[in-house]
Amino acid sequence: MARKSLQRLCEQHEVLDLLAVCESAREAHELLAAQEVDLILLDVEMPEQSGFELLAQLAFVPQVVLITSKTEYAFDAFQYQVTDYLQKPITPPRFKLAIEKVLDLHRRKNAVQRPSGTKSTSN
């Protein structure tokens, strides 16, 4: 249900281009190995493997917004240098704020490059 809400928030956002919704960390890992994305909206608690375990396996880590219903992961989130941390259930204003942070960082990183939309994946 949280995933459905998140998917809708992504689809309604004027800048985000939702590339995929993954059911598991393994599926996300396979997708991220094959396709470059600018942003992952990542649930910390997933079956089989946590969001942090997924991040530890990635060769290239794009911007990450962590999604969780626990506040106790904040320290781990800080260690992984995630862009933002959203607590479920996610409100539209808080989601927009997180995406503004992502876009701001994206613009700063690409200041000398041609501006483009932000691609995202969520799981």
Partner 1 sequence: MFPNPPPYTLDRDRLSDLYGGDAAYAADLFATFLEIVWPEMALMETHVARQNWLELGRAAHKYKPSLGMVGLSELEAQLLRIEVAAKNSLQPEQIEALYRQCALEIAQMIPTLRAELQRLLLQANPGSANPRP
Alpha helices in 15-118 (DSSP H): 25-34, 51-57, 74-79, 92-109
Binding to partner 1 in span 83-102, by CB under 8 A: 88-89, 91-93
Supply the minimum distance, in Å, between the C-beta of residue 87 and partner 1.
9
Supply the minimum distance, in Å, between the C-beta of residue 9 and partner 1.
9
Q: ∠ CA 70-106-83 to the nearest 5 degrees?
A: 15
Q: What distances in angstroms separate CA 80 from CA 41, 50, 105, 117, one per listed residue?
A: 14, 13, 16, 24
Binding to partner 1 in span 19-58, by CB under 8 A: 45
Supply the minimum distance, in Å, between the C-beta of residue 11 and partner 1.
10
- CA 89 to the chain's CA centroid: 15
Supply the minimum distance, in Å, between the C-beta of residue 16 and partner 1.
16
Residue 1 binds to partner 1 (criterion: CB under 8 A): yes
CA atoms within a 13 Å half-sphere pointing along the CA-CB vector of 51: 22
Q: Which residue ranges make up the site for partner 1 (CB under 8 A)?
A: 1-2, 4-5, 8, 45, 69-70, 88-89, 91-93
